[in-house]
Structure 1
């Protein structure tokens, strides 16, 4: 079983969701700025890396957790990945693609553009973190839903 947390550029929302899933970020309190900055890939993924799945780790059940940036073509990229795997003989029934982009607010979007696209990290990164903090418990809720869905599917 594999979980892919998907966002625009695999630099912010997918990283946060994967980090919560893996227990790197708490689910019972708001993380501080430094906790976000220490995350692998947080506000560090380059545009040429979009579309590349990054392995983040295995959760407590041994399930592989990945992040992937899909720009505005999430359906197309997902279809391409699934199609390729099916044609390669891989069973795709146990793949979960979780879109984290709907949780991103205006601050995080602007911060991401400033940091990743324009290279103004000193302005953009703090703005992305502030935006994520404002919606943080929605990320926690999403991860809880994903974990329950995965648990149900493993029992079936």
Structure 2
């Protein structure tokens, strides 16, 4: 199985989700500032990285975990879904793929932190906001990861898109 967590920039909430999925972060407590800032690609990707898949590792069940930033695109994830479906139909791919949006977990501090840090290059304002947002959202991100794994195991589809909007309403 292949998990692909996606968000706007691919450098904040999706990185957190991949890190919880791979148990790089402890899901029993709030992450520390140092743990957050040490994550691979956390707050490091730029506009040109949008659409690029980043591999983070394999989980304890051997499933591969990736992230991708989709920007404002409404077609990137459906396009990847269609590509994966076509490869399945042609028997060129036999791995189940789950696209899981982490955007519903993004709190306001993370949104503004990304704006200040990635767009305006004002890390002294943006990074503290990103850390605050990561700490504020950690339970929601863990819930999203657990939901993603649960759906992946239950759903027999070859390719799945989860927008996870229902998680935000809780």
Normalised to the residue count of structure 2, the TM-score between the two structures is: 0.83
Report which stretch shifted further, 135-144 or 34-43. 135-144
Q: Which moved more, 1:124-133 or 1:76-85?
A: 76-85
Structure 2: runs of 5 or more not aligned: 157-170
Structure 2 equivalent of residue 16 of structure 1: 16
Indicate the residue corresponding to 1:84 in structure 2: 83
Figure out how many residues of one structure are paired with residues of the other and give that number: 153
TM-superposed CA distance for 1:92, in Å, is 7.2
Counting only pairs closer than 5 Å after superposition, residues 58-73 of structure 1 correspond to structure 2 as 58-73=58-73
Listed as ranges, the matches of 1:48-59 within 5 Å are 48-59=48-59
List gaps (5 residues or longer) in structure 1.
none
Shift of 1:105: 1.1
Range that drifts further, 120-129 or 51-60: 120-129
Q: Distance in 2 between matches of 1:4 and 1:35?
A: 22
TM-score, scaled to structure 1: 0.91
Distance 1:87 1:147 in 2: 23
**8 Å contact 2:2–2:95 — kept in the other structure?**
no
Q: Could you say what secondary structure the match of 2:115 adopts?
A: helix
Residue 100 of structure 1 pairs with residue 99 of structure 2: no
Conserved? CA contact 1:13–1:132, under 8 Å: yes
Question: Which aligned segments of 4 or more residues in structure 1 are displaced greater than 4 angstroms?
Answer: none
Q: Give the superposed CA RMSD.
A: 1.7
Match of 1:112 in 2: 114
1-side partners of 2:10 and 2:108: how far apart?
17
